[in-house]
Amino acid sequence: MSIERIAIIGLGLIGGSIGLALREMLPDIATTGWDADRDVRRKAAERGLVGKVSDSADDAVRDAQLVILCVPVGAMGAAAQSIAGALPPGAIVSDVGSSKHSVAQAIAKALPDAVVVPAHPVAGTEKSGPEAGFPELFRHRWCILTPEDATPAEAVEQVAAVWQGLGAKVEIMEPAHHDLVLAVTSHIPHLIAYTIVGTASDLEDVTRGEVIKYSAGGFRDFTRIAASDPTMWRDVFLTNRDAVLEVLGRFTEDLTALQRAIRNGDGDTLFELFERTRTIRRSIIEEGQDDARPDFGRSDH
Amino acid sequence: MSIERIAIIGLGLIGGSIGLALREMLPDIATTGWDADRDVRRKAAERGLVGKVSDSADDAVRDAQLVILCVPVGAMGAAAQSIAGALPPGAIVSDVGSSKHSVAQAIAKALPDAVVVPAHPVAGTEKSGPEAGFPELFRHRWCILTPEDATPAEAVEQVAAVWQGLGAKVEIMEPAHHDLVLAVTSHIPHLIAYTIVGTASDLEDVTRGEVIKYSAGGFRDFTRIAASDPTMWRDVFLTNRDAVLEVLGRFTEDLTALQRAIRNGDGDTLFELFERTRTIRRSIIEEGQDDARPDFGRSDH
Complex ipTM value: 0.91
pLDDT at B296 over 70: no
The DSSP annotation for A19-81 comes to: HHHHHHH-TTSEEEEE-SSHHHHHHHHHHTSSSEE-SSHHHHHTT-SEEEE-S-GGGHHHHHH
Q: Does A132 sit within 8 Å of B294, measured CB to CB?
A: yes
Spatial distance between the Cα atoms of B79 and A197, rounded to a whole number of angstroms: 36
Q: Does A230 sit within 8 Å of B299, measured CB to CB?
A: no
pLDDT confidence of residue B293: 73
The DSSP annotation for A142-190 comes to: EEEE---TTS-HHHHHHHHHHHHHTT-EEEE--HHHHHHHHIIIIIHHH
pLDDT digits 0-9 by tens, B44-67: 999 999 999 999 999 999 999 999
In B, minimum Cα distance to A240 occurs at B262
In A, minimum Cα distance to B263 occurs at A241
Mean pLDDT throughout A278-291?
Answer: 84
Kind of pairing between the strands at A66-69 and A5-9: parallel
Pick the residue of B255, B275, B293 with the most A CBs within 10 A to test the interface with A by mutation.
B255
pLDDT over 90 percentage in chain B: 86
Pick the residue of A134, A252, A285, A299 with the most B CBs within 10 A to test the interface with B by mutation.
A299
Read off the pLDDT band of B179 (50, 70, 90): very high
Torsion of CA A100, A106, A107, A113, to 10 degrees: 130
In B, minimum Cα distance to A272 occurs at B230
Name every chain A residue with its beta carbon within 8 A of the beta carbon of B210. Answer: 181, 185
User: How large is the C-alpha radius of gyration of chain B?
Assistant: 21
The β-bridge partners of B94 are: B68, B117
Q: Does A298 sit within 8 Å of B274, measured CB to CB?
A: no
Contact by Cβ (8 Å): A251, B192: no
Residue A13's nearest CA partner among A94, A134, A119 is A134
Spatial distance between the Cα atoms of B115 and B122, rounded to a whole number of angstroms: 22
H or E segment to which residue A93 belongs = strand A92-95
Contact by Cβ (8 Å): B166, B229: no
pLDDT at A100 over 80: yes
Give chain A's mean pLDDT.
94
Mean pLDDT throughout B140-156?
Answer: 96
Q: Does A144 sit within 8 Å of B214, measured CB to CB?
A: yes
Higher pLDDT, A74 or A204: A74
Mean pLDDT throughout B238-257?
Answer: 97
pLDDT at A297 over 90: no
User: How large is the C-alpha radius of gyration of chain A?
Assistant: 21
pLDDT at A134 over 80: yes
Phi, psi of B122 (to 5 degrees): -85, 80
Q: Does A222 sit within 8 Å of B189, measured CB to CB?
A: yes
pLDDT at B295 over 90: no
Q: How far is A115 from chain B (nearest CA, A)?
A: 26
Spatial distance between the Cα atoms of A174 and A131, rounded to a whole number of angstroms: 33
Contact by Cβ (8 Å): A12, A132: yes
Q: Does B125 sit within 8 Å of A295, measured CB to CB?
A: yes
pLDDT confidence of residue A301: 44
Contact by Cβ (8 Å): A2, A154: no
Spatial distance between the Cα atoms of A214 and A217, rounded to a whole number of angstroms: 6
| Best CATH choice for the domain B177-290 from the list 3.30.70.520, 1.10.3660.10, 3.20.20.70, 1.20.1630.10 | 1.10.3660.10
Contact by Cβ (8 Å): A26, A19: no
pLDDT confidence of residue B298: 62
For residue A190, what are the contacts with CB-CB under 8 A and spacing of at least 6? Answer: A225, A226, A228, A233, A236, B218
Superfamily of chain region A177-265: 6-phosphogluconate dehydrogenase C-terminal like domain (1.10.3660.10)
Mean pLDDT throughout A8-20?
Answer: 98
pLDDT digits 0-9 by tens, A82-96: 999 999 999 999 999
Name every chain A residue with its beta carbon within 8 A of the beta carbon of B141. Answer: 216
Q: How far is A206 from chain B (nearest CA, A)?
A: 6
For residue B14, what are the contacts with CB-CB under 8 A and spacing of at least 6? Answer: B70, B96, B121, B124, B133, B137
Give chain B's mean pLDDT.
94
Higher pLDDT, B237 or A217: B237
Q: Does B137 sit within 8 Å of A299, measured CB to CB?
A: yes
Beta-carbon-side half-sphere exposure of residue B32 (alpha carbons within 13 Å): 18
Q: Does B223 sit within 8 Å of A280, measured CB to CB?
A: yes
pLDDT digits 0-9 by tens, B268-286: 999 999 999 988 888 888 8
pLDDT confidence of residue B292: 76
Q: Does A250 sit within 8 Å of B210, measured CB to CB?
A: no
Q: How many residues does chain B have?
A: 301
Structural domain spans, chain B:
5-173, 177-290
The β-bridge partners of A30 are: A5
Name every chain B residue with its beta carbon within 8 A of the beta carbon of A200. Answer: 184-185, 280
Residue A72's nearest CA partner among A235, A259, A279 is A235
Kind of pairing between the strands at B119-121 and B142-145: antiparallel
Q: B5-173 belongs to which CATH class?
A: alpha beta
Phi, psi of B144 (to 5 degrees): -100, 125
Q: How far is A134 from chain B (nearest CA, A)?
A: 7
Instruction: Specify the 3-state DSSP secondary structure of B213.
Output: helix
pLDDT confidence of residue A279: 85
Read off the pLDDT band of A221 (50, 70, 90): confident
Name every chain A residue with its beta carbon within 8 A of the beta carbon of B171. Answer: 213
Q: Does A247 sit within 8 Å of B262, measured CB to CB?
A: no
Contact by Cβ (8 Å): B192, B178: no
Query: Hey, do A5-173 and A177-265 end up sharing a CATH topology, with the first three levels equal?
Result: no
Handedness of CA A217, A219, A225, A229 (dihedral sign): negative
Read off the pLDDT band of B301 (50, 70, 90): very low
- Comparing CB atoms, the residue among B185, B217, B227 nearest residue A277 is B227
Name every chain A residue with its beta carbon within 8 A of the beta carbon of B234. Answer: 267, 270-271, 274
Mean pLDDT throughout B166-179?
Answer: 97
Higher pLDDT, B57 or A221: B57
Spatial distance between the Cα atoms of B78 and B97, rounded to a whole number of angstroms: 14
Q: Does B233 sit within 8 Å of A270, measured CB to CB?
A: yes
Spatial distance between the Cα atoms of A191 and B199, rounded to a whole number of angstroms: 15
pLDDT digits 0-9 by tens, A44-53: 999 999 999 9
Handedness of CA A38, A42, A47, A50 (dihedral sign): positive
Q: Does A301 sit within 8 Å of B136, measured CB to CB?
A: yes
The β-bridge partners of B115 are: B92
Spatial distance between the Cα atoms of B224 and A221, rounded to a whole number of angstroms: 10
Phi, psi of B43 (to 5 degrees): -65, -35
> Picking from A164-168, A214-218, B54-58, which range would have the lowest pLDDT averaged per residue?
A214-218
pLDDT confidence of residue A291: 76
pLDDT over 90 percentage in chain A: 86
- Comparing CB atoms, the residue among A221, A234, A271 nearest residue B271 is A234
Compute CA distances A176 → A68, A118, A134, A181, B153, whole Å. Answer: 21, 12, 30, 9, 63
Read off the pLDDT band of A287 (50, 70, 90): confident
pLDDT at B158 over 60: yes
Read off the pLDDT band of A1 (50, 70, 90): low
Q: Does B136 sit within 8 Å of A299, measured CB to CB?
A: yes
pLDDT at A210 over 90: yes
Query: Sheet holding B142-145: strands in order across?
Result: B119-121, B142-145, B169-172
pLDDT confidence of residue B281: 85
Name every chain B residue with its beta carbon within 8 A of the beta carbon of A222. Answer: 189, 221
Phi, psi of A297 (to 5 degrees): 75, 10
Q: What is the 8-class DSSP label of residue A126?
A: S
